[in-house]
Amino acid sequence: MFPPITLDLNDYSKIFAIDGLPVIPKEKEEKLLSVLKKILAPFGTVASLTMPFREGGDGGGAAGTSFGCAFVEMSSVAEAKSAVEKLNNYKLDKSHFFKTNMFEDFENYEKMASVYKAPEYKIEKSESLYEWLMEPNGCDQFALRYGKEIEIMWFATPTTPARSVTKLPVPTEQSVVWSPKGTYLVIYHVLGAILVGGPEWKKLRKYQHKGVEFVQFSPCENYIVTCSPLSDDKKTEPIIVWDVKTGHKLRGFNRLKNEKQPWPEFQWSHDDKYFSRVDNGFIYVYETPSATLIEIDGARKPLKLHGKTTDHSWSPTDNLLCAYVPEHESIPARAVLLEIPSRKIVGDRAFFDVDKCTFLWQDKGDYLAVRVDRQGKAKKKLTAFDFFRIREKDIPVEDLKLADAVQEFYWEPKGHRFAVVHAEQAGAPGALPSISFFSLVGASKIVTIQTLPKRAVSALSWSSRGRFVVIINSESFEFYDVEKKETMAKEQKHMMCTNWNWDPTGRYFTTFVSGWKQKSENGFKVWSFKGNELMSVLKEGFYQVEWRPRPPSLVPKEKLEELMNDQGVFKELRKKYKEEDKLKIQALNAELANKREDMRKEFREFFRKKREEWEADEMWRKEKGIVPPVEMTVEEEVTEVLETVEEPLD
């Protein structure tokens, strides 16, 4: 048991306990108390500090050793509460982390009734953050950033017109940022970041971090990272990790010393359990919600491989971490695949004469492509790819070597194919690259699907559902079907285009001219996946259009595959929805035809009245000799048939 405490316990409100201290002998008490006083000094005046010791060999420890805790009395309640809040999970050293509690909490625990009584509270119905997913026509939303506003809109379909949802004022110049599942929209503020959402687009949470310029969400939207790189506030860290729902600060971090360090600095595991970054050759893997390093060999420390790690990347679907260690001391470079938190190596690959190594995960986590760039003879650039088949036994690896210089690599979303842009002489005047498509499914080796030779291309953009790809050449766009190996539309133009993106369904492709890059012709265009222009908008002060992401389907993967493979069910559903669309289009056509008929009637009535006025003034015109009588005629051209265009996804 604890010996008598020398604190004045007349007022528990200013006393708190610190647990997690090292167990020490009596002769080291003065030194540890001195360290604790320095840690407590920023929070106010320490009125009393006591560390209990064992009188005998009880409590699982040797006689004369401490219990690993201390009791602190501050000069005020506010100071005590501030210390408890800020020092919880404080890292004393690599093996000891503080756990703090107000002393009153222990007293309250003793007063708890032996029989549980449910608390009485009133349940207030809150707004659903997912109401937008219930739109009856299955429309998608997108955000327009222009002037000092962000406008949220529903996109038009053949059966539903485009319509505005709301307009939100924007006090800063930052871009539109959606959360990964589309639940939240970020509004930057001079004092921090604000999350808005729900049917009324209310402010849901505020994160106070002065000078925020960048934000990053964890994949499951449980956490958000804010970064203020130019902040002059010495009391606040440049990077802070927050709990999204509670707004609680998990931990602050300093930026890495590498000036070329890109944002985001942290990478997240698919389930939000871990986040990490590389610093000075070590991989710092933190676990949530404590935001402390994972435990390695009984201690919380960074992960060290056989050499200095320079890059790493998480699988998008599993707690697998791949890391790259360059060549050193005659040891070849290696790409290592580890399970976290066990750190078990499940795959690795050695490389020689490496200039650069890049990790490229397929979005379903089935494959990992490791791109290795080397410098060959006569300054010829050589590129090879090693593909890890993650779902197969022992994770086999196969390579792909191209004789040409590789410019870019693109995975097909939701699929098994990838595209490579390559050229014989990269950067040579007049040399046009080629585009090759490959497949990894249904064979033990990589299969070449097709090569499109000599294409003017600056980038490729796969549809968000795969199969269709847009070949981009600055202001010109070619829409290509990889499945059928055919071009659907060629040389579609959007002058001065600066950016592009796909909607979540993969049916619509958006191009826009951002005011951040071009000062004229600002606006956007929306194209169908076949390359038909559906919408064109010019808007002064326009900066960005960003589609709202959709969360993963709640239908289990097996059931979804069953529905897609059952052609009978699929055909029935397709027939049902086509009939519904047909009826809606007929109703819209009838409404439009009635509106046009009303306009014709209105015009005919207007024309009749003006003709009567003209005829009544005929004698007066003759007397005055103004104009000779003229027979007035009106030609009407009426189009009753409204054409609709369907673009089915095979």
- 613-644 confidence digits (pLDDT tens): 888 888 888 888 886 655 555 555 554 444 44
Strand order in the sheet with 192-197: 177-178, 185-189, 192-197, 202-208
Q: Is the pLDDT of residue 5 over 50?
A: no
- 349-389 confidence digits (pLDDT tens): 999 889 999 999 999 999 999 999 988 776 778 899 999 99
**Residue 429 pLDDT level (bands cut at 50, 70, 90):** low
Q: Would residue 542 be called left, alpha or beta, if left means φ above 0 and alpha means ψ between -120 and 50 degrees? A: beta
Q: Is the pLDDT of residue 415 over 50?
A: yes
Q: Is the pLDDT of residue 420 over 60?
A: yes
- 479-504 confidence digits (pLDDT tens): 999 999 999 999 999 999 999 999 99
The confidence score (pLDDT) of residue 138 equals: 83
> In three state form, how does the secondary structure of 607-620 look?
HHHHHHHHHHCHHH
The confidence score (pLDDT) of residue 190 equals: 86
Q: Which two tokens stand for residue 239?
A: 């990077």
The single-letter DSSP state of residue 120 is P
- Name the pairing type of β-strands 282-287 and 274-279: antiparallel
The confidence score (pLDDT) of residue 543 equals: 96
CA–CA separation, 295 and 298 (whole Å): 6
- 216-271 confidence digits (pLDDT tens): 999 999 999 999 987 766 778 899 999 999 999 999 999 887 656 678 999 999 99
Q: Side-chain half-sphere of 497: how many Cα atoms within 13 Å?
A: 25
**DSSP string covering 267-305:** EE-TTSSEEEEEETTEEEEEETTTTEEPEETTEE--B--
Does the pTM surpass 0.85? The reply is no
Q: Measure CA of the first residue to CA of the last residue in the chain; give whole Å.
A: 75
- 55-89 confidence digits (pLDDT tens): 865 556 688 899 999 999 999 999 999 999 989 98
Average of per-residue pLDDT across 414-439: 85
Amino acid in the structure at residue 537: V
E-assigned strands of 11-95? 15-19, 46-50, 69-74, 91-93
Average of per-residue pLDDT across 314-340: 94
Q: Is the pLDDT of residue 648 over 50?
A: no
The single-letter DSSP state of residue 66 is B
**Residue 1 pLDDT level (bands cut at 50, 70, 90):** very low
The confidence score (pLDDT) of residue 95 equals: 86
The confidence score (pLDDT) of residue 33 equals: 93
Percent helix, strand and coil across the chain, each rounded to 5?
Answer: 15, 40, 45
Write down the mean pLDDT value for the chain. Answer: 88
Closest to 82 (Cα-Cα) out of 44, 46, 50, 108: 44
- Report the range of poorest mean pLDDT among 284-288, 401-405, 486-490: 401-405
The confidence score (pLDDT) of residue 645 equals: 46
The confidence score (pLDDT) of residue 641 equals: 46
Q: Is the pLDDT of residue 426 over 90?
A: no
> At residue 546, what are phi and psi to the nearest 5 degrees?
-135, 120
The confidence score (pLDDT) of residue 58 equals: 56
Distances (CA, A) of 284 to 88, 220, 254, 268, 294: 20, 21, 13, 12, 8
Closest to 357 (Cα-Cα) out of 327, 324, 406, 379: 324
- 532-565 confidence digits (pLDDT tens): 999 999 999 999 999 999 999 888 878 877 777 7
- Report the range of poorest mean pLDDT among 135-149, 329-343, 439-453, 508-522: 439-453
pLDDT above 90 as % of the chain? 62
Quickly count: other Cβ atoms within 10 Å of residue 208's Cβ: 15
- 112-164 confidence digits (pLDDT tens): 788 888 877 777 777 889 999 998 888 899 999 999 999 999 998 777 788 99
Kind and range of the H or E run holding 37: helix 29-40
Q: Which two tokens stand for residue 574?
A: 């397709």
E-assigned strands of 465-623? 468-473, 476-481, 486-493, 499-502, 508-513, 523-528, 533-538, 542-547
Amino acid in the structure at residue 248: H
